[in-house]
Amino acid sequence: MKNNNLEKIYNKLPKDKTLLKAELAKVELAIADDIKAVVSQIKAKRDQIQKVEKSANEYRKRMSAMYKEGAKMEKLIEKESQSGNKLVDKAIKISDRAEKAAKDLGVDPNNIGGYKELDDQWGELEVDASVITDLLRELYD
């Protein structure tokens, strides 16, 4: 029975092997064209992705350098702000001592040499220290 079925199937197949080969060649050619097209698309996409990767790596390097520069700037701002504030505190103490001494002597503190300039300068230093502290905060906003 099995042989009978095989014979029926075989009889239905084209008798011309050349025709079968031609059809097979057409199918192979179509698949080969599809393969070539997809390979070409893959190569183009890889080139595009590699360009993006190169650009991203360059960006990462720039950002890393900026981060390092920012960290240095942060330390510098903190250092200068703190030392400025310490100097303001020192100026205030000296100013207070000058005012007390002037009061004890019954004179105007502005008559003490350098008192007025000290008063002006520590006020400006306080503003300057505040400005750079604000700049530091803005770096992270």
- Tell me if 104 sits within 8 A of 77, measured CB to CB: no
pLDDT above 90 covers a percentage of the chain that reads 63
pLDDT digits over 14-56, tens only?
565 556 666 666 667 778 888 899 999 999 999 999 999 999 9
Q: Which residues lie closer than 8 Å to 6 by C-beta, 6 or more apart?
A: none
**pLDDT (0 to 100) of residue 69:** 92
Dist. CA 139–CA 39, nearest whole Å: 48
Question: What pLDDT does 14 receive?
Answer: 59
Taking each helix axis from N to C end, the angle separating 115-139 and 17-105, rounded to the nearest 10 degrees, works out to 160
Six token digits for residue 120: 């002006």
Given a cut of 60, is residue 105 above it in pLDDT?
yes
**C-alpha–C-alpha distance, residues 73 and 61, integer Å:** 18
* Cα separation of the two ends of the chain: 86
HSE toward the beta carbon, residue 10, CA cutoff 13 A: 6
Average pLDDT score over residue span 55-70? 95
Query: Higher-confidence residue: 135 or 117?
Result: 117
Q: Is the pLDDT of residue 66 over 80?
A: yes
Q: Is the pLDDT of residue 1 over 60?
A: no
In the numeric block, which tokens belong to residue 66?
């900026």
